[in-house]
Each structure stands twice: as structure tokens, then as C-alpha cells.
Structure 1
Amino acid sequence: MRSQFIRIVGAVSLAIGMSLGISQATRACAVPPPLASIDPPGFYDDPAGYAQAVKPMRGFIDQLNKAADSSQWSCTLDLLQGWAQADALMGPISGYQGYYERSWAGTDFAMVLLRMPQDVSSANANRLHVITPWLTRIAIATRDADAINHLHNNLVYWAGLNLVAIGTVAQQQMLIDAGLARAREGINDIGAQGELVREVKRGDRALHYHTFALIPLVFTAELAQRQGIDLYQENHGAIGRLANLVTQAVQDPASFAKITPIEQKLFPWTFQDELSWMEPYYARTRDSRLPALIAPRRPFSEWRLGGNVTDAWGVALSP
């Protein structure tokens, strides 16, 4: 009798536990209300207002990236399909910051899908047929955004990654070509010491923006390899020069004085997750300086790049 009672209690406990697990998973995958538009004040113009305005979109991206990080692909597709069906983020933008935010968001959505195993993608082709036209609309809006195109700086390079990543997912060569043109603008701007003149003009944030500019150039170069295009070789290995400049600055921030005498200020994330470019770059180049810089910072997680970059792009580090 006692053993039978224990078995019944165990079965009930298991059922309750499974029910709670399913309930928690369901809550975790609940699709948040789609945002019609993303139109925050400028990051530097109104920091508090900016942080409040982007919170719903960043929350969605965090939920999406965590689903991808844990290989919950059905949840990942639920989230993207829910926002795609609402044509989220495609409403009017009155300022300028929203164009950057939508570009970054679209890049993240595409990078998440690029992490998805091929068999999962094939089994969910009907759902992707809902998602990819929405991503294409985001990419076209990014391509045509004068608020980005006139800048000719790191935001153009990020727009290039947006176009190449979404173009790769949607198999749209016109988007890939437009993205490559923007990446090449950045590559051609890299000087003999790895400097970017427009980013040097950022004064005490110059080092930060060199680091920030390098991210989309490296990831675009990686995606371009799938097209048989080697962006790493262009402008006499320019991406490598910029990577070397940033690597030296991570090792010794004072080394950046050769680019500008202005004392540099970094954001807390500049030498943390915004060094996520090191993962694919090390996998390709095996730069012997990078393991010591990568190891204590792993895992890299960047909200614009689909979540856990280490999991998606990293390789074992040589001692």
C-alpha cells in the first residue's frame, strides 16, 4: 500500500511538474504586442527618453535571442511570425534614431534565422514565407533611409550588414549587392594605420566607434564568403588593419594615441560584447593575440547579432 501511495504521489508530482514546465515555456514564448513603429529620441539627445522608448523592442529581441540560444526554434518562429504578420516596426519614423534601431533589429532577426539548422528551416518553410517578406521590407526601408545613407560612417556599415544578412535569409541578391556596396564604402575608408577618418572625428569616443564600426564589417565579410567574395582582401587587407588597431587598443588603450591625442572614453560594453567580432575573426585568422582577449570575455552576447555570438561563431581557442 505504501509503495502504491508513493507511486501515485510521484506520478501526480511529475504531472504537476510537467504542467508547470509547459506553462512556464508557454509564458516564455508568449508573443509580446508588436510595435507598429520604433521612433525614439536620439541616443545622445535624450538618454532617459531613449532608454524608455526602446525598451519594448529590446525586450522582444532579448526574448527572441534567448529562444535561439536555447534552440527553441518553434518559439523563435512564433515570435518572428507574430511580429511579421503585424508588419511590426514599419510605421512612420519622425526622427532619425528609429532608422538606426530598425536596421539593427532587422539585422538581429536575420542573424537569428541564420543560426537555425537547415532541417528546421526546411520543415518550417511555410512560416518563413511569412517572415522573410517582412524582413525584406525592413531591409528595403534600411537601404532607402536617407537618415542613414548621408552619414557615410559606421551606421552605413551596419546597414550593409542588415542588407546582406536579410538578403541571405530571403535569397534576394539585390539586397546582398546593396549591402556589399555599403560594406565596401567602409573598407575603402580604412586608412594605412587602420583608422577611419569619420570615426576619428568623434573625439573622445573615436576608439569606441572604431570598435563599433568593425563589427558589421567583419560579419559582412563572413557572410560574403558564402557568395564567394573575399572582403578581407579588399583595399590591401583593410579590415585586418582596422582589426589590428582595435586589438592593440584592447591590449593597451594608450596605443590609440597614434590615431588621436584626445583621451578616450569607452562605454562599459565597448571592450566587452562589442568585441564579439573577435569570434569569427579568430576562427578565420587564428590571430595568436586573440585567445587571451576572448577567453575571459566569453560568452559574447550582442543583441544586434542574434544573441550568443560565441555559440554561433566561436571555435576552440589555442593555448
Structure 2
Amino acid sequence: MHYRMLRVLAVLLFVTSAVSIASPIASACEVPAPVKSIDPPGFYDDAAGYARAVQPMRGFIAKLNKAAETGDWSCAVDLLHGWASADALMGPIAGYQGYYERSWAGTDFALVILRMPDSVKAANASKFAVINPWLERIAIATRDANAINHLHNNLVYWAGLNLVAIGTVTNQPQLIDSGLIRAREGIRDIGPNGALEREVKRGDRALHYHTFALLPLVFTAELVQRRNIDLYQENDHAIARLANLVIEAVRDPSSFAKITPIKQDLFPWTFQDELAWVEPYYARTRDARLPALIAPRRPFSEWRLGGNVTAVWGVPLSNRP
């Protein structure tokens, strides 16, 4: 297992480097060739094959997120319109990993649009007449993906965020409602001690997957606030219990031993960009423990969440220790 994960890390670093090299600012508005189908081998099954297969899509997302971060909204619209016109990512998927990748990609696209000024969207109404139906097709495919729905774990919660984010962008309440069903499944799964039983079963990756599961739950809770839905209070403030479990584990990894005696093995990004949920969570709760965790890690950048999360969701930190 140790050598396999080193191999995974090495190829993912290669993908990151390749994306950076392939995305110079000078060609930021050149639309990459659309990826018709996203169908990589499983992340844990074939590390090298996975990295090769996802690189073109990740390169596109890197360009899109960079355009959003720099306020180059004309470029962002052109990128989305180019792929929407080709019905990108909607080709057949033979395996299972592609369903996860498409769900994450669609979430990113929607969150980029949600940070876009209304004036930009109004000025590009004809392009959004192509973009929005494409996003809806991605959401419907995510909603109907048995490869996700049967899992009842963090990937279902991510699918919920996909549906809520795209439903918010396209003003489709039925998609939001389908997303809420999935988010609420995750909230119901949070136990009295803050743990998710299905993620505890991940053995030495249990802590990683608790962190990864918290991301979509927090961002879904934030998005539906505008509909006057308070997911934070559901199941006796369950999201706060899960957040507390993760916060304490970041501060003291040994604290997770009360959940499982298995020594935890974290990815380098587990306690870095996959802690991006702390930005909206701190903005809402002002948890006094968080500034010390947030400050040395800013900016948080998560490719599934529109890129620079700190720029969109971050607030000034308290000086309290």
C-alpha cells in the first residue's frame, strides 16, 4: 500500500506540473480541445493511467479557474461555451471513476459561474443559452449515476453539491431538491461523536475521507442558505460535530484515535486545500480555533470548488489566539 500511494503521488505531481506548463497566461483564452468522455481507470487501480486520463480535463479546469481568479470573465465564458457547444464530458463511461470526475467538474463550473458578475452573464445571454443546458445535462447524469448512488458515502454528498450548485446556476429547483436529498443523507449519517461510519471503514484513510466528506456538506449548506434552508441545524447540528472532529484532528492528529485505533495515513493535500471548507465555516461561525489553522494555509485552492476558495469565501481573521 505504501509504495502504491507513493506512485499515485508521483503521477499526480506530474499531472499538476503538466497542467501548469500547458496553461500559460498568454494562451489563457484558447479553448482546449473538448474532452468528449471522461473515463479514467480508478484512482487506486492504475495511478499512471488515471493521471494521463484526467490531465486534459484538469488542464481545462485550471484555465477556467485561473480566468475566474484574475477576473478575466470573457475568457471564462468562452471556455465554458466552447466545451458546452461540444457537449463535453457527456460521452459514455465504461468504468466508475469517470462519474466522480464529471460530478466534480460540473461542480467547479457552477461555482465559477456563481462568482461571476451578473452583468457578465447578462451580456453573454446567448452563450449561457448553450452553457446552462449543458450543465443541466451534467447534473442529471450525476443524479442518475448508479455508480455513485449505490455508495452512500462522501461521493453521494459531492453529487449533492453538484446538483445544488448547478440547480442554483440554472434556476432549477428540482435539481436543488435532488441535491438536498443527498446532502441530508450525509448529515443523517453523522454520529453523536461526529464520525461517519462508512468513512471509518476506510481504515488508514478514515481521517482523510472525513475531511473530504465535510467539503461538500459545508458548501451545500452555504449555497442553500439563500433559499432559507439551514442544513447546519439539522440532525442536532451534525455538520458542527463533524467539523469539530476534523478541527481537533488537525490540531492533534492523535485525537482521531477515539474514532479508530488504526494509524492514519494522510495525503499531502488532506490538511491543506481539502481543508477549504474552513473558509465559509469560519465566516459563518467565527470558531476561535480556526484562525491559527487558516492563516498559515491561505490561500486555499481546490480545483473542484472554483479554484481560489479564500478569495471568494474568506473573511479577515480574528487576532485571538
Report deviation, 1:25: 5.8
The residue aligned with 1:302 is 302
Q: Which runs of 4+ in 1 moved over 6 A?
A: none
2: CA distance between counterparts of 1:271 and 1:118? Answer: 34
The whole-number CA distance in structure 2 between the counterparts of 1:224 and 1:252 is: 32
Q: TM-score, normalised by structure 1?
A: 0.92
- Match of 2:179, SS state, is helix
| Aligned positions of 1:49-64 closer than 5 A | 49-64=49-64
2:260 corresponds to which letter in structure 1?
A: T
TM-aligned CA deviation for residue 58 of structure 1:
0.4
Q: Deviations over 1:46-73 (max 9, x none)?
A: 1111011100000000010000000000
Letter paired with 1:137: R
Once the two structures are superposed, residues 242-268 of structure 1 have per-residue CA deviations (whole angstroms, 9 ceiling, x without a partner) of 000000000000000010000000000
Q: Which runs of 5+ in 2 are unaligned?
A: 1-23
Residue number in structure 1 paired with 2:205: 205
1:115-134 alignment, distance < 5 Å: 115-134=115-134
Aligned to 1:304, the other structure's residue is in SS state helix
Q: One-letter code of the match for 1:172?
A: Q
CA distance in 2, matches of 1:125, 1:115: 16
> What is aligned with 2:21?
none
Question: Aligned with 1:214: secondary structure?
Answer: helix
How far apart are residue 128 of structure 1 and its match?
A: 1.2
Q: Distance in 2 between matches of 1:281 and 1:25?
A: 32
Q: CA deviation at 1:122?
A: 2.0
Give the total of aligned pairs. 296
Pairs within 5 Å for 1:1-319: 27-319=27-319
Q: Secondary structure at the match of 2:305?
A: coil
Aligned to 2:16: none
Report % sequence identity: 78
AA at the equivalent of 2:312: A
The corresponding residue for 1:20 is none
Deviation digits for residues 214-248 of structure 1 (CA, Å, limit 9, x no counterpart) = 00000000001011100000000000000000000
The aligned amino acid for 1:197 is E
1:4 corresponding residue in structure 2: none
Q: Specify every segment of 5 or more residues in structure 1 that has no aligned partner in the other structure, as ranges.
A: 1-23
Higher Cα Rg, which structure: 1
Could you tell me which amino acid in structure 2 is paired with residue 34 of structure 1? P
RMSD: 0.8
User: How far is the alpha carbon of 1:26 from its aligned partner?
Assistant: 5.8
Deviation at 1:300, TM superposition (A): 0.3
